[in-house]
Amino acid sequence: IGKRIVFKESVESTQKEAHRLAEEAAEGTLVIAEEQTAGRGRMTRPWHSPKYTGIWMSVILKPNLPPFKAPQFTLITAVAVTEAIRDAAGIMPEIKWPNDLLLNGKKITGILTELQADSDQIRSIIIGIGMNVNQREFPEELANIATSIFIEKGETVPRAKIVQAIMKNLEIYYDEYMTNGFGLIKEKWESYAISIGRHIIARTVTGTIRGRALGITDEGVLKLEDENGVIHDIYSADIEIDQ
Ligand code: BTN
């Protein structure tokens, strides 16, 4: 992973660029930019991607797997990136299901997993990673929900060091997953996750469910037990810790 690199000074979105290149690109190709002018997050939200201060990258993988396995890649990436931040910056973020990494309750990293697939086979999986590294401040509308490694640690961290650590860990966990399955990654994910065992509020497209997060399944689905003891499978939602 990361042996082939497409580097751009400025791009609309590395994710969009990776989608365009995916069919031709070798597995493990990394698309990375200094700035995104139209970075995007989950649910078509914009992703603030100013120049030189963050990591804006997308990795193209081509696993020989059916499409329903794709959500696991968000969790594989979350574990790989959490450990990369620990190793390269010396601070340990927490994972908030499904795709956020937090420091002191604020977001430093978002992960966006997208697919190009036939009905029974993944053609390319495109993993977008956005990380706030050296920003000193955020626009007002983000100041309460976003932070950077610099703000939390009080020191700048070289972005290249973190990118290298991400590539290394992603390769290790991708290998682990393809060889031994999801077991070890799931265990690590659950140990790094803040929401497991806690009372949470899950806002899904069909409504809001409150309950206790029990864990994740092998498919990366969140299990939530409501106050009546009914267990819900959450495939996609925004999660808030219920105080
Ligand atoms: C989220 O938390 O909603 C996911 C954010 C993903 C942002 C990254 S930055 C690199 C890649 N290119 C994009 O346009 N988005 C992803």
In this structure, the answer to whether residues 14 and 112 fall within a common structural domain is yes
Minimum-distance ligand 1 atom for the alpha carbon of 100 = 2
How many C-beta atoms lie closer than 10 Å to residue 152's C-beta?
A: 16
Q: What is the pLDDT of residue 67?
A: 94
The Cα–Cα gap between 191 and 11 comes to 36
Distance, CA 30 to ligand 1 centroid (Å)? Answer: 14
Contact 50, 35 (CB under 8 A): yes
Please check whether residue 29 is in contact with residue 59, taking contact to mean a CB–CB distance below 8 angstroms: yes
Quick one: 90 and 206 in the same domain? no
Residues 10 and 100 reside in one and the same domain: yes
Q: Enumerate the β-bridge partners of residue 17.
A: none
Hey, how many other C-beta atoms are within 10 angstroms of the C-beta on 63? Answer: 17
Q: In which residue are the tokens 């990369």 written?
A: 84
Please give the pLDDT value at position 115. Answer: 96
What is the model's pLDDT at position 159? 97
Pair (117, 187) in one structural domain: yes
Same domain, 235 and 167: no
Number of domains present in the structure of the chain: 2
Task: Point out the ligand 1 atom lying closest to the alpha carbon of residue 57.
Answer: 10
Quote the pLDDT of residue 162: 98
User: In angstroms, what is the span from residue 47 Cα to ligand 1's centroid?
Assistant: 6
Same domain, 155 and 46: yes
The DSSP code sequence of 26-48 is PTT-EEEEEEESS-B-GGG-B--
Find the 174 Cα to ligand 1 centroid distance in Å.
Answer: 20
135 and 118 in a common domain: yes
| Angstrom distances, CA of residue 189 to CA of 62, 97, 177, 192, 205 | 22, 9, 13, 5, 25
Tell me which of 192, 208, 231 is where a domain ends. Answer: 192
Does residue 184 share a domain with residue 203?
no
Same domain, 137 and 225: no
Probe ligand 1: pick from 29, 49, 238, 239, max atoms within 8 Å of CB?
A: 49
Answer yes or no: is 40 a known binding residue. Answer: yes
> For residue 40, how far is its CA from the centre of ligand 1 (angstroms)?
5
Sign of the alpha-carbon dihedral angle for 130, 172, 186, 84: negative
Determine the Cα–Cα distance for residues 107 and 93; give it in Å rounded to an integer: 9
User: Has 42 been labeled as part of a binding site?
Assistant: yes
The whole-angstrom separation of Cα 240 and Cα 208 is 11
What is the distance between the alpha carbons of residues 121 and 216, in angstroms, rounded to a whole number? 24
CATH of the domain at 89: 3.30.930.10
The domain in which residue 234 lies consists of: 199-241
CATH of the domain at 204: 2.30.30.100
Residues 188 and 207 in one domain: no
pLDDT under 70: residue ranges of the chain: none
Edge-to-edge order in the sheet of strand 199-204:
231-234, 222-225, 207-216, 199-204, 238-241
Residues 170 and 232 grouped into a single domain: no
Domain boundary among 154, 172, 192: 192
What's the ipTM? Answer: 0.99
Question: Does one domain contain both 182 and 203?
Answer: no
Question: Which residue among 176, 192, 208 closes a domain?
Answer: 192
Decide the pairing of beta strands 30-36 and 5-11: parallel
pLDDT at 104: 94
